[in-house]
């Protein structure tokens, strides 16, 4: 059986550069034995003294890092802010973009039902991939001490109303982007839902009868919401009038959706009958319940969130 000191030395030297390993081993062994002798001179028995000394020297991995002058952090202060900024920038739009593209590709392949799931899965994978690779690159930079040659910070970079700006350009662009996608999807699903009908054409997902009134209304509400995003960006923060308009637009969108789906008027009956699972009464009711609860939750959250933010700017 090897002694504790032998094992401690082996554990320490494992991660010390090979070129210096032997010399450090001899010196460290000598130092440990000196320390043990010192304790034994104070009257400790050999075994207790060895345990105490090795405990005092602490985790071998940490000691080795000190010998090798190695960083015990993944990304240090030199690179942290650049890492954080790049990660936020990439995560702000790439996963959503990939998700939409994958979803659309899946849909054009005729798998309309899987498109949303595939899009979400691709977006999540993209988040993980971006997080991993960006962090890996910065961790390597940290260990090789590479200079990034980033332009130094100057006072000119201070934005005029940065302190009070609650609404960031990125958020506004993202919000408007989604709204435009939804607005474009409403007519798109009518002509090209990717769900083939019996006659070879595409089945609209939403009831075509709604085009006489409700779908144009919903589109108008969404267009008005785009206007609200612009107004919000101009104001730079949530104000009480904006909260009021936002609440009104939310209700104007959610109320018709909830009423139409609970009256079985939202989905195209041909589309419902196309799917055996969906055409069963209880399943259709479950879908309606999920849509209603989801709509209520999203609407309520959006209104409450805007009110909280407006309240915070005042206090």
Partner 1 sequence: MGSDEVLRTHLQELRRGTVVLASLIALRHPDYGYALLQRLSGHGFPVDANTLYPLLRRLEEQGLLTSEWNTEESRPRKFYRTSDEGESVLRRLLDDLAAVQTSLTGLIEGVGR
Binding region for partner 1 (CB under 8 A): 23-24, 26-31, 33-35, 38, 56-58, 62-63, 66-67, 69
Q: Judged by CB, which is closer to partner 1: 61, or 255?
A: 61
Q: Are 226 and 154 in contact (CB under 8 A)?
A: no
Q: Which is nearer to partner 1, 6 or 34 (CB)?
A: 34
Cα angle for residues 268, 273, 279 (degrees, 5° grid): 105
* Nearest approach, Cβ of residue 63 and partner 1 (Å): 5
Helix (H, G, I), strand (E, B) or coil at 177: helix
Q: Closest Cα partner for 205 from 221, 223, 185, 220?
A: 185
Task: Give CA–CA dist 238/172, Å, rounded.
Answer: 13
User: What is the H or E stretch that residue 84 is in?
Assistant: helix 77-108
Closer residue to partner 1, CB minimum distance, 60 or 256? 60
Using a 10 angstrom Cβ sphere, with 0-12 exposed, 13-18 middle and 19 or more buried, the burial of residue 5 is middle
CB of 119 to partner 1, least distance (A): 46
60 versus 119: smaller Cβ distance to partner 1? 60
Tokens 């080795």 map to which residue? 64
- Closest separation in Å from C-beta 39 to partner 1: 11
How many whole angstroms separate alpha carbon 85 and alpha carbon 134? 11
Min CB(246)–partner 1 separation in Å = 42
In whole angstroms, give the CA distance from residue 252 to residue 242.
15
Which residue number, 36 or 210, has a Cβ lying nearer to partner 1? 36
Choose between 41 and 152: whose C-beta lies nearer to partner 1. Answer: 41
| Cβ-based nearer residue to partner 1, 57 or 175 | 57
CA distance 23 to 12: 13
Rounded to a whole number of angstroms, the minimum distance from the CB of residue 19 to partner 1 is: 12
User: Cβ 59 to partner 1, closest distance in Å?
Assistant: 9
3-state secondary structure 232-295: HHHHCCCCHHHHHHHHHHHHHHHHHHHHHHHCCCCECHHHHHHCHHHHCHHHHHHHHHHHHHHH
As measured in angstroms, the least distance from the Cβ of 223 to partner 1 is 53
């Amino acid at each position: 059986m090897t002694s504790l000191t032998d094992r401690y030395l082996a554990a320490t030297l494992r991660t010390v550069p090979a070129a210096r390993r032997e010399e450090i081993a001899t010196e460290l062994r000598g130092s440990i034995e000196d320390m043990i002798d010192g304790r034994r001179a104070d009257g400790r028995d050999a075994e207790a003294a060895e345990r105490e000394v090795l405990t005092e020297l602490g985790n071998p991995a940490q000691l080795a890092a000190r010998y090798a002058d190695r960083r015990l952090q993944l990304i240090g202060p030199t690179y942290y802010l650049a890492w954080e900024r790049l990660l936020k920038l990439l995560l702000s739009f790439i996963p959503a973009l990939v998700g939409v593209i994958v979803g659309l590709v899946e849909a054009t392949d005729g798998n309309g039902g899987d498109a949303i799931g595939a899009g979400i899965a691709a977006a999540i994978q993209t988040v993980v991939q971006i997080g991993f690779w960006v962090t890996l690159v910065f961790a390597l930079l940290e260990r090789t001490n590479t200079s990034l040659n980033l332009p130094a910070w100057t006072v000119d970079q201070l934005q005029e109303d940065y302190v009070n700006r609650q609404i960031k350009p990125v958020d506004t662009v993202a919000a408007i982007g989604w709204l435009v996608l939804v607005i474009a999807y409403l007519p798109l699903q009518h002509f090209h839902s990717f769900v083939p009908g019996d006659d070879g054409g595409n089945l609209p997902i939403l009831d075509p009868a709604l085009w006489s009134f409700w779908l144009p209304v919903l589109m108008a509400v969404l267009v008005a919401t785009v206007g609200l995003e612009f107004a919000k960006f101009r104001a730079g923060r949530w104000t009480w009038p904006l909260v009021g308009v936002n609440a009104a637009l939310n209700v104007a969108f959610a109320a018709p959706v909830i009423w139409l789906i609970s009256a079985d008027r939202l989905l195209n009956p041909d589309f419902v009958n196309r799917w055996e699972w969906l055409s069963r009464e209880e399943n259709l009711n479950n879908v309606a319940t999920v849509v209603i609860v989801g709509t209520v939750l999203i609407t309520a959250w959006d209104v409450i969130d805007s009110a909280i933010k407006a309240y915070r700017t005042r206090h």
